Amino acid sequence: MTTAMSRSIGDTLREGRLHQHLSLAECAKRTHISLRYLEALEEERWNDMPSESHRVGFLRLYARFLGVYSEEMIHLYRQAQLQAAPVIKPREIQKPARFQPGTRVTAQRLGLGVIFALVSIWGIYHAVRRYYPDRPMDLSWLRIRPRTLRLVAPRRELQVQRIRAKAEADSWVRVTDNHQMVFEGILPAGAVKEWSGPGPFRIKIGNITAVSIVWNDQPVDIKAAARGHVAELKLPPTAE
């Protein structure tokens, strides 16, 4: 965006407003555009506005309100934005390195080299055996070390605990699974709630006569853990 073009948009808007003897506050009230956005338009601080659609919309509405050729303002704005946009250079594609014919190793040459090495080792071996027929060769380096077996303890399967609570009348209930709260509130009459998890479960019941508990399909004696009308259960009982 050139300096002359940058000033022309803001100056045109400002001159149109002053020509009608209007303040920015009056324009903001009549156009329902925020005062700070009107200031940004006249000062061409485009980045102060939320998005490109807000810039174009506010500029068109404000220019039309002032009678300063709104479409021409939009054209100047877009032309200035195109001139200010950075030029993106095309990415250069690197050409693959070209191999010299003399440096390429063919499979045939590699195979001949391996065969030559094996023949040389075989000849050295028989030459040594010819001069030292009675000396045993040290082949200790060929001994294979026995593999040590590692005993891995089987994973202990985690048993899932299942809890079912049924309310004959309204009762307050709180349930935690492994110290994590899973339910707390009033269990209405006739309601059935089920929970499952690794446990241990801790269950606190506010009215033992109104609630029945089933643990892993087995009924639980709530009254055995009752203190008055309140009972606190821990399932399974032996869990830490």
Question: 28 with 22: CB under 8 angstroms?
Answer: no
Alpha-carbon gap, residue 19 to 71, rounded angstroms? 20
Q: What is the pLDDT of residues 17-29, one digit of tens each?
A: 999 999 999 999 9
Question: How many domains would you assign to the chain?
Answer: 2
Q: What is the pLDDT of residues 127-153, one digit of tens each?
A: 766 655 566 666 565 565 666 666 666
**pLDDT exceeding 70 applies to what percent of the chain?**
75
State residue 114's pLDDT score: 87
Among candidate residues 84, 107, 126, the one where a domain is terminated: 84
The answer to the question of residue 117 being in a domain is no
The answer to the question of residue 167 being in a domain is yes
Q: Summarize the confidence of residues 118-132 as an average pLDDT.
A: 75
Q: Summarize the confidence of residues 8-12 as an average pLDDT.
A: 85
Q: Summarize the confidence of residues 149-165 as an average pLDDT.
A: 75
Q: How far is CA 50 from CA 42, 55, 185, in A?
A: 16, 8, 46
How many other CB atoms are found less than 10 A from the CB of residue 87? 4
Among candidate residues 84, 114, 148, the one where a domain is terminated: 84
Alpha helices by DSSP H, listed for 132-201, are: none
The answer to the question of residue 146 being in a domain is no
Q: Which domain holds residue 201?
A: 161-235
Q: Has residue 83 got a pLDDT over 90?
A: no
Q: Has residue 213 got a pLDDT over 70?
A: yes
Tokens 């994973």 map to which residue? 155
The answer to the question of residue 132 being in a domain is no
Q: Summarize the confidence of residues 167-180 as an average pLDDT.
A: 89
The answer to the question of residue 55 being in a domain is yes
Alpha-carbon gap, residue 61 to 67, rounded angstroms? 10
**pLDDT exceeding 90 applies to what percent of the chain?**
27
Task: Kindly report the CATH number assigned to the domain that includes residue 64.
Answer: 1.10.260.40
201 exposure class (CB count in 10 Å sphere: 0-12, 13-18, 19+): buried
State residue 141's pLDDT score: 58
Task: Kindly report the CATH number assigned to the domain that includes residue 212.
Answer: 2.60.40
Among candidate residues 38, 58, 84, the one where a domain is terminated: 84
187 exposure class (CB count in 10 Å sphere: 0-12, 13-18, 19+): buried
Q: Has residue 43 got a pLDDT over 80?
A: yes
State residue 30's pLDDT score: 94
The 10 Å CB-count burial string (b at 16+, else e) for 11-22 is: ebbbebbeeeee
Question: 80 with 1: CB under 8 angstroms?
Answer: yes
The answer to the question of residue 128 being in a domain is no
In degrees, rounded to 5, the angle at the alpha carbon of residue 27 between the alpha carbons of residues 22 and 30 is: 125
State residue 6's pLDDT score: 46
Q: Has residue 1 got a pLDDT over 50?
A: no
The answer to the question of residue 217 being in a domain is yes
Taking all residues of the chain, what is their mean pLDDT, rounded to a whole number?
81
Q: Has residue 102 got a pLDDT over 50?
A: yes
How many other CB atoms are found less than 10 A from the CB of residue 203? 23
The answer to the question of residue 137 being in a domain is no
State residue 7's pLDDT score: 55
